[in-house]
Amino acid sequence: MGREIGLSLVYRDMWQSSGKYMPRVDQLVKVAEPIVNMGCFRRVETNGGGFEQINLLYGENPNKSVREWTQPFNDAGIQTHMLERGLNGLRMFPVPRDVRRLMFALKKKQGTDIARSFDGLNDTRNLKLSIDYAKEGGMISQTALCITYSSLHTVDYYVHMAGELIDMGADEICIKDMAGVGRPVSIGKIVQGIKSIKKDILVQYHGHSGPGFSIASSLEAARAGADIIDVAMEPLSFGMMHGDLLTVHEVLRDAGFSLPDVNMKAYMQARALTQEFIDEFLGYYINPRNRMMNALLIGPGLPGGMMGSLMSDLENNLKSLNKWMEKNNKPFVSQDDLLVALFDEVKTIWPMMGFPPLVTPFSQYVKNAALVNVMQMMKGKERWSLLDDNTWDMLLGKSGRLPGPVAAELKKLAESQGREFFAGDPQDLQPDALDEYRQKMKDKGWDTGKDDEELFEYAMHPGQYEDYKSGKAKEAFEKDLLEKKQAKSVSQASEPGQAQAAWNQPKVMHVEVNGSKYKVSISYDSQAGGQEATGTAPSSHTDVLPVAVNGVVSEVTAPLEGKVFMTKEASEKPLRVGDKVAKGDTICYIEAMKVSNAIKSDKEGTVVEIVVKDGDDVLDDDVLIKLS
């Protein structure tokens, strides 16, 4: 037999790359036994990333979930590993030092053996504390190279980065090919380069399947000396997820590697349970297109892990865009048209934004900027007309060093807005916070929990933790799930004849108005309330003229779809009727695509009506306020 090689099941990631949620803790504990009995895994990825936020969104305690989910693997001697985002910890924005330090000590006590730490900019400074704190807490420190493909991200670039991390004390190196765009031969050369620096360091390859390279890359990584290959399993392998266990297993065996047999009875049990979880409720949050690979992703290099949210964003923004097109007598845009335009814009602006590796959260920032640019330019506005503060922080250096320079036009835009670039250590911008949150918990009468785990949760995810404690999160999740189930029921049509009739009716018509030709999409009411056959609730906002006929009242409209918040910070005062507004003043915020966008008035005047309120969902071009 040839050299032994290990497999790791990325059970957490394969769910989060397919949809919004993961199984509940009772489901995870149920599937743990057959995963153990499969007998082929050296490691299982159990938590990290968005795992704890998902539990909070369910209205469940994430600490209970981590402890109970990791226990069966601890008992079986299978190593568990988690994903953490370096400076950003388990969230999308920077975390104070003391919170990061507590995380590693706590996760080890909860049953997690290995911390896979990555920095979304590949700034090794942001990983130094992860290495130190992981080892101090008794965990194995595995640091990741975020693989992307550009003129800057070469084999030498990654080998040099790995050398820096090894010098910092990293125990292991992960090749994190989050978009699956690493070319197979180059992946092999990176592994060889790492092994040439330190022959006995463990190297683990993690590759998504989106563009189709992952099986070849797994083989090249193994041949070059990788020790462990990450895999997924049916029914959540391939597509935007990861290479399938059975496929990778056979490819590696055929290449001469030694691997344990797969207990197929246990495999089928785990497979059936995973499908059961999908059928119960998780399938409502999985976009079917995430089950398909897409070679178009080779160009923009967007990661599989965000494709679910991307397709949802496209669907919502397409509705908003076509509403504007209809009002302005322009032809409708198809989802494919918008998708191709988005991919082209990503390729255009990515170098301008300094080539940030396209991984959480920076892939979202680049994608968001590209999508907003496309939407604005389709309406005749300029590129960069709306950039959220999170993206600005990345561009200004507040998240770390970008691999490449920021374009001159963005520097000029920053200067015009009074924004300053930052060249220091981003961690220094985050003061310690545990004492503050400890006092808040004392004031609320909340227990800090075993090993301070509840304190950690509150400090890491303050807003979501408060919603969990109040019951608001559980109520919102159950309401959302009920709506999705009802929508599916409506879409299936209550009467077979009605379903057939709807199926036979035209969905698209081509019409001509005043010599101009348009393609019109058609939907059909399925019940008296006017609800569409898809089950999507009608918008609560009605179309209005952008300016009153007499010119006395003008309207400020939403530049994108999302959820409205009148303030961002507790210290801010919300806009009131009678307030004076100047051009460029922030009137509210719209949360869209995981970031908050400050909405600035493009007009001046006195507020005579505020059309929206906190928590309202708006579409692009919906009226926000009226001015006189």
What is the model's pLDDT at position 600?
86
What is the model's pLDDT at position 276?
97
H runs (alpha helix) in 471-556: 472-491, 496-504
What is the model's pLDDT at position 358?
85
For 182-200, what is the mean pLDDT? Answer: 97
Lowest mean pLDDT: which of 32-41, 96-105, 295-304, 338-347? 295-304
pLDDT in tens, 203-223: 999 999 999 999 999 999 999
Confidence of residue 32 (pLDDT cuts 50, 70, 90): very high
pLDDT in tens, 440-475: 999 999 999 999 999 999 999 999 999 999 999 999
In 3D space, the residue among 152, 159, 205 whose CA is nearest the CA of residue 6 turns out to be: 205
What is the model's pLDDT at position 288?
84
Report the percent of the chain where pLDDT is more than 90. 63
What is the model's pLDDT at position 504?
38
Nearest 5°: the CA angle 264, 269, 272 is 120
For 54-75, what is the mean pLDDT? Answer: 97
Rounded to the nearest 10°, the torsion over CA 526, 530, 534, 535 is -100
Q: Is it the case that residue 526 has pLDDT exceeding 70?
A: no
Spatial separation of the C-alpha atoms in residues 384 and 376, rounded to whole Å: 9
**Quick count: other Cβ atoms within 10 Å of Cβ 489?**
11
Match 């969990």 to its residue by tokens. 468
- All structural domains of the chain with their residue ranges: 6-291, 299-429, 554-627
Cα–Cα distances (Å) from 528 to 295, 486, 499, 524, 534, in that order, read 43, 16, 16, 11, 14
Domain 6-291 fold is TIM Barrel (3.20.20)
Lowest mean pLDDT: which of 370-379, 503-512, 570-579? 503-512
2 burial via Cβ count (<10 Å: 0-12, 13-18, 19+): exposed
Spatial separation of the C-alpha atoms in residues 118 and 49, rounded to whole Å: 11
For 296-323, what is the mean pLDDT? Answer: 73
For 415-422, what is the mean pLDDT? Answer: 94
Task: Annotate 111-145 with b (16+ C-beta within 10 A) or e (fewer).
Answer: bbbbbbbbbbbbbbbbbbbbbbbbbebebbbbbbb
For 495-519, what is the mean pLDDT? Answer: 46
Lowest mean pLDDT: which of 229-238, 579-588, 589-598? 589-598
In 3D space, the residue among 302, 413, 269 whose CA is nearest the CA of residue 352 turns out to be: 413
Lowest mean pLDDT: which of 251-255, 452-456, 519-523? 519-523
More confident residue, 542 or 91: 91
What is the model's pLDDT at position 532?
34
Contact between 374 and 335 under an 8 Å Cβ cutoff? The reply is no
19 secondary structure, DSSP code:
B
Spatial separation of the C-alpha atoms in residues 143 and 103, rounded to whole Å: 16
pLDDT in tens, 350-363: 999 999 998 888 88
420 burial via Cβ count (<10 Å: 0-12, 13-18, 19+): exposed
What would the two tokens of residue 203 be? 């190297």
Spatial separation of the C-alpha atoms in residues 47 and 616, rounded to whole Å: 33
Quote the mean pLDDT of the chain.
87
pLDDT in tens, 221-236: 999 999 999 999 999 9
Q: Tell me which H or E stretch contains 269.
A: helix 264-280
What is the model's pLDDT at position 306?
64
What is the model's pLDDT at position 335?
81
Confidence of residue 311 (pLDDT cuts 50, 70, 90): low
Spatial separation of the C-alpha atoms in residues 273 and 36, rounded to whole Å: 14
For 319-337, what is the mean pLDDT? Answer: 84
What would the two tokens of residue 463 be? 């807003």
What is the model's pLDDT at position 627?
92
Q: Is it the case that residue 404 has pLDDT exceeding 50?
A: yes
Spatial separation of the C-alpha atoms in residues 144 and 149, rounded to whole Å: 16
Q: Is it the case that residue 515 has pLDDT exceeding 70?
A: no
Q: Is it the case that residue 510 has pLDDT exceeding 70?
A: no
Match 């290449």 to its residue by tokens. 255
Contact between 148 and 179 under an 8 Å Cβ cutoff? The reply is yes
Q: What is the largest CA-CA distance in the chain?
A: 86
Q: How many helices (H) and strands (E) does the chain have?
A: 21, 18
**Quick count: other Cβ atoms within 10 Å of Cβ 419?**
17
Confidence of residue 594 (pLDDT cuts 50, 70, 90): low
- Which CATH code fits 554-627? 2.40.50.100
